[in-house]
Amino acid sequence: MQSPSGESVRIDKWLWAARFFKTRTLAAAAVNGGKVHLNGARVKPSRGVKPGDRLAILRGEDRYEVEIVQLSERRGPATAAQALYAENEAARQARETRAQERRFERAGAVAPAQRPDKHARRRIRQLRGHD
């Protein structure tokens, strides 16, 4: 899965190959939208990345901080994609903690009210005197 040029790969291609985004279009949109920073700076999708570069990726509510280990222009299996980068351990722990907090919040949340069914509508009409 090594890059043919060996020196740099477009950032949108690398993000797609590393499986951070499902399509290159989504990866390019995230880079254009300021959701991806290369070595602390905002970049364009055509910017080249090389091993040793640091990326900060904001995807939904999750924030990834990774260092590029290998380059690839081709998308492969997930295990090969994970070998392309090394994730910052502190950022990974923080992301997992936030994900767990979101799960707990969802578990305690009240389900949204449902629309009344046929029988409930009849009772509502009776109570309002529209029988």
How many separate domains does the chain show? 1
Assess if residue 117 is contained within a domain.
no
Q: What pLDDT, on a 0 to 100 scale, did the predictor assign at position 94?
A: 92
Assess if residue 54 is contained within a domain.
yes
Assess if residue 122 is contained within a domain.
no
Instruction: Domain of residue 18: give its range.
Output: 1-93
Q: What pLDDT, on a 0 to 100 scale, did the predictor assign at position 87?
A: 93
Assess if residue 22 is contained within a domain.
yes
Q: What pLDDT, on a 0 to 100 scale, did the predictor assign at position 12?
A: 96
Asked whether the beta carbons of 46 and 32 are under 8 A apart, the reply is no
Q: Which amino acid appears at position 73 of this protein?
A: E
Q: What pLDDT, on a 0 to 100 scale, did the predictor assign at position 112?
A: 66
Q: What pLDDT, on a 0 to 100 scale, did the predictor assign at position 115?
A: 87
Q: What pLDDT, on a 0 to 100 scale, did the predictor assign at position 108?
A: 75
Q: What is the pTM of this model?
A: 0.75
Burial label for 39, CB within 10 Å (0-12, 13-18, 19+), is exposed
Assess if residue 72 is contained within a domain.
yes
Q: What pLDDT, on a 0 to 100 scale, did the predictor assign at position 103?
A: 87
Q: What pLDDT, on a 0 to 100 scale, did the predictor assign at position 64?
A: 94
Q: What CATH number is attached to the domain comprising 24?
A: 3.10.290.10
Assess if residue 111 is contained within a domain.
no
**Cα 69 to chain center, whole Å?**
20
- CA distances in angstroms from 120 to 115, 117, 129, listed in the order given: 9, 5, 14
Helices H / strands E in the chain, number of each: 5, 7
Burial label for 40, CB within 10 Å (0-12, 13-18, 19+), is exposed
Q: What pLDDT, on a 0 to 100 scale, did the predictor assign at position 19?
A: 96
Ranges of the chain whose pLDDT falls below 70: 1-6, 109-112, 131
**Cα 115 to chain center, whole Å?**
33
Assess if residue 110 is contained within a domain.
no
